[in-house]
Structure 1
Amino acid sequence: MKVLGIISEYNPLHMGHVYHIKTSIEKTGATHTLCVMSGNFVQRGEPAIVDKWARTRMALNAGIDLVLELPVVFACASAEIFAYGAVRTLHNTGVVDFLSFGSEQGELEPLKRIASILHEEPDEYRKLLKKYLNEGYSFPLSREKAILSIINDLPGNIMSHSNNILAIEYIKALKRLKSDMQPVTVKRVGAAYLSTEMLSSFSSATAVRKFLQDGGAITDPVLSHNLPDFTFKILQAEITGRRGPVFADAFSEIVLHRLRTMSPEELRNVPDVTEGLENRLISCSLRSGTLSELIDMVATSRYPSTRIRRITANLLWGVTKNQLKSFVSDDRCGYLRVLGFNSKGRELLARIRKEAKVPLITKVANYRDQLSGASKLMFEYDIKATNSYVLAFPDPGQRMGDQDFTTPIVKTD
């Protein structure tokens, strides 16, 4: 058995994702595939366009054998924490041989060089990082400038691309964990990750979401040309059933209420809130009528909109900085929450049961018996995130709580 691991959001799963899965299998000779997928909220601080069970069905149709959920406290966090939490989840299965990820670079060596500096943090890097931060640059840009000052023969703009940034973080996480998983990268094809332009094929997930958010019809041929047939049918069923699409502005009233009723001291404890940002958030919440207006008003070059979105998303389930720090620092903290599998996934589960380093959760009702301490608290944030997410379903009749307990694992042949 050769096991391929993939970290994903599939928001929604498109042709580029199918290409990545197929090419990764070819490159590694994998016999089984396992993915760790963000649940109902994703790394950019937004709700997924359809829920985690619908996107699990997409993954299983695309060639993934077993889907595990990435805990929301990692899924909706900085690139560094997102990557570390996801790689640690794969590592904790005890069965993954290869970790494959897309990148604009398409080759590992320069990504590994950058990851080594970020992992080791030599004095020269620390001094340069501090220098650029003091000059008012954002942390990501300060880090990029520091790296490029140390390694001057890197390809241009290597750290300016979203998938490269995550790839570097994945490699860094492998080093931190001293993992035996072998990194593999596949060059990204089609539109850029954040491109909003709908193409004839291989459009980005961002473009697909924007098309729907702008009122595009699910029946428009441009969607069927950009999505695998199974993704199109699953999206169509969710939208027809009024369980989607879900967009961030659906949470406007909840988030604005939270901000308008929290004290600065409380808000200061939310992840990513630093340097007096709590006061700016509260002040802007009093002058905003929607979440989009709030984010536009708060965001600056030093505080990118994605960071503000993550802050507002974390308000929905209430995780604190200290809790997140403890989840990250404690390598024993974690679990493997199964969202779906096929017949090969069943074989993977049998092996994981023997070799996993953390509990395997196949029945949510049993989590209190299987988990304790920080792991139990972390799992309960996943439940809270789902309870918040379903409030954005277009059909009020679909918004009942505790759907983590009532929705079965997705199983296919």
Structure 2
Amino acid sequence: MSTVGIIVEYNPLHNGHVHHYNRAKEITGAEHTIAILSGPFLQRGEPALISKYARTDMALAMGVDLVIELPTVYAVQPAEWFAFGAVSLLEATGVVDSLCFGTESGTLELLLPLSRKLATESESLKQEISRLLNLGMNYPTAYSVAAGNLSNDPFEQEDIISLLQQPNHTLGLHYLIALQRLRSDIVPYTIPRESAGYHDSTPSNSSIASATAIRRLVLEQDFQAAAPYVPSYTIDTMRKEFDAGRGPISWESFRQPLMHQLLTQSTSELVQFHEVTEGLEYRIKKLLPSVVNLTVRDLLHSLKTKRYTHTKLQRMLAHILLHHTKQEMSSNSLAKGPQYLRMLGFNHNGQQLLKQMKKTASLPIVVKPSNHSHSHLERDLQASAVYANAYHHLNNRETFRDFFEPPIRV
């Protein structure tokens, strides 16, 4: 019973994701699929358009057999820790044979040998990254240049730097690095992204659009505007969620609780939160009075500099909103890896995988969170409650849904 793992956010699930799912099964020959799905807050620091349960529904409708939640402490992280957390979960199932992810090039020719060099982060690499940061580069650029400088071939250096300027190559590289660090037997595959770029804000194809473009259509028009670019079950799910007042969710849904914290926390309190670095606590306090509408969008625009990427700032705000401290998000803590496998949903084949995992899994399988205790699981429950508290129609059952409901079964 061969199984391919995929690492996803489905914000929302669109036709490009369907293509990835189908090709992943085709090129690996896998009979079954396990998806590692981010919870309510995502890798780039933004809240999901709809809940993790709705996105699990979409994944199962597409054909995914088993959906496992990526803990919040790994989901809202730079590529290195996001990838390490997700790949660690696939490894811990004991049933995953392959991993398939999308990249801009659709080849591992440069990424695989580079991942072997970077799997052990040398002191010289750290020093080079630090040197480049001191020159004013943001972290993604500094990392790509430092990685390129590992090669003695100037043409290869240029290729590596160019490659890592593209977000899916960076994420793919860190999936490969995680496999190396875990000494995993999982075989990696990649497929090329089709038609739409990762950051494309408007559709450029009749049936394929980036998730960014689709969210923009949904938020600025309505979910029906996204119909050409998503499967029918995504439209049905969004209709159900929006009719029930459970979306659409954006950063502005959290404006009041976030601004309350920023306005009432001192600089000495703000600096305790993860990713509040290099004096950002002072920059926040200095700029707040000049944010015209006191919206999250305007705040991000005001905070943005060449040094601080939009993504870095969004993640920082998410950690402040969710009270994630530097101490609990330290590299030493994250390097221990996830400590449980949280089931979000499964179909009949997924149920068979679960039975197999009871014999093979190296981590506890969490079906009912109330029966388990771990600080990271507490953070997942808190993030889900904060997210649900932003729904248009407040409902205590929704706020504490993680405590009451079992995984979705199809």
TM-score, with length taken from structure 2: 0.94
Residue in 2 that maps onto 1:342: 347
1:267 corresponds to which letter in structure 2? L
Residue in 2 that maps onto 1:245: 248
Asked if the contact 1:327/1:378 (under 8 Å) is kept, the reply is no
Asked if the contact 2:148/2:161 (under 8 Å) is kept, the reply is no
Q: Does 1:63 align with 2:63?
A: yes
* Cα separation, 1, equivalents of 2:73 and 2:253: 21
Residue in 1 that maps onto 2:198: 193
Residue in 2 that maps onto 1:386: 384
* Cα separation, 2, equivalents of 1:327 and 1:86: 15
TM-score, with length taken from structure 1: 0.93
2:280 corresponds to which letter in structure 1? L
Change (3 A) 1:298 1:156: closer
How far the C-alpha of 1:398 sits from its partner, in A, is 6.9
Write the deviation string for residues 67-112 of structure 1: whole angstroms up to 9, x where unpaired.
0000011111111111111111111111111011110021112111
Change (3 A) 1:381 1:156: closer
Q: Does 1:284 align with 2:290?
A: no
Q: Does 1:275 align with 2:278?
A: yes
How far the C-alpha of 1:123 sits from its partner, in A, is 5.7
SS of residue in 2 equivalent to 1:184: strand
* Cα separation, 2, equivalents of 1:177 and 1:254: 39
How far the C-alpha of 1:400 sits from its partner, in A, is 4.7
Mean Cα displacement is larger for which, 111-120 or 310-319?
Answer: 111-120
Change (3 A) 1:121 1:377: closer
* Alignment map for 1:66-105 (pairs within 5 Å): 66-105=66-105
Mean Cα displacement is larger for which, 61-70 or 403-412?
Answer: 403-412
Residue in 2 that maps onto 1:175: 180
* Cα separation, 2, equivalents of 1:164 and 1:115: 11
SS of residue in 2 equivalent to 1:175: helix
Asked if the contact 1:103/1:186 (under 8 Å) is kept, the reply is yes
RMSD: 1.7
Residue in 2 that maps onto 1:411: 409
SS of residue in 2 equivalent to 1:323: coil
How far the C-alpha of 1:282 sits from its partner, in A, is 2.4
Change (3 A) 1:123 1:407: closer
SS of residue in 2 equivalent to 1:160: coil
How far the C-alpha of 1:134 sits from its partner, in A, is 2.0
What number of residue pairs does the alignment pair up? Answer: 401
Write the deviation string for residues 129-179 of structure 1: whole angstroms up to 9, x where unpaired.
233122111111111112223333226721111111100010011111111
Residue in 1 that maps onto 2:263: 260
Change (3 A) 1:219 1:122: closer
* Cα separation, 2, equivalents of 1:155 and 1:276: 31
1:292 corresponds to which letter in structure 2? R
1:211 corresponds to which letter in structure 2? L
Asked if the contact 1:65/1:344 (under 8 Å) is kept, the reply is yes
Asked if the contact 2:4/2:30 (under 8 Å) is kept, the reply is yes
* Alignment map for 1:322-361 (pairs within 5 Å): 322-325=327-330, 326-331=332-337, 333-361=338-366
Write the deviation string for residues 43-70 of structure 1: whole angstroms up to 9, x where unpaired.
1111110000110011011121000000
Could you tell me which of 159, 165, 168 is aligned with 1:163? 168
Asked if the contact 1:336/1:359 (under 8 Å) is kept, the reply is yes
* Cα separation, 2, equivalents of 1:408 and 1:283: 46
How far the C-alpha of 1:397 sits from its partner, in A, is 4.1
How far the C-alpha of 1:390 sits from its partner, in A, is 0.9
Residue in 1 that maps onto 2:140: 140
Write the deviation string for residues 204-243 of structure 1: whole angstroms up to 9, x where unpaired.
11101011122x12233xx221101111111111112221
Residue in 2 that maps onto 1:372: none
* Cα separation, 2, equivalents of 1:327 and 1:3: 29
Asked if the contact 1:361/1:367 (under 8 Å) is kept, the reply is yes
Q: Does 1:235 align with 2:233?
A: no
How far the C-alpha of 1:262 sits from its partner, in A, is 1.5
2:335 corresponds to which letter in structure 1? S
Asked if the contact 1:41/1:72 (under 8 Å) is kept, the reply is yes
1:250 corresponds to which letter in structure 2? S
1:117 corresponds to which letter in structure 2? K
How far the C-alpha of 1:399 sits from its partner, in A, is 7.6
How far the C-alpha of 1:306 sits from its partner, in A, is 0.9
Change (3 A) 1:219 1:327: same
* Cα separation, 1, equivalents of 2:273 and 2:295: 20
2:45 corresponds to which letter in structure 1? G
Change (3 A) 1:131 1:327: closer
Asked if the contact 2:300/2:313 (under 8 Å) is kept, the reply is yes
**Unpaired stretches in structure 1, ≥5 consecutive residues:** 369-375
Query: Percent identity, aligned pairs only?
Result: 37
Asked if the contact 2:56/2:344 (under 8 Å) is kept, the reply is yes
Change (3 A) 1:400 1:123: closer
SS of residue in 2 equivalent to 1:322: coil
* Cα separation, 2, equivalents of 1:383 and 1:287: 35
1:13 corresponds to which letter in structure 2? L
Residue in 2 that maps onto 1:203: 209
1:17 corresponds to which letter in structure 2? H
* Cα separation, 2, equivalents of 1:327 and 1:35: 24
Mean Cα displacement is larger for which, 336-345 or 269-278?
Answer: 269-278
Q: Does 1:42 align with 2:48?
A: no
SS of residue in 2 equivalent to 1:208: helix
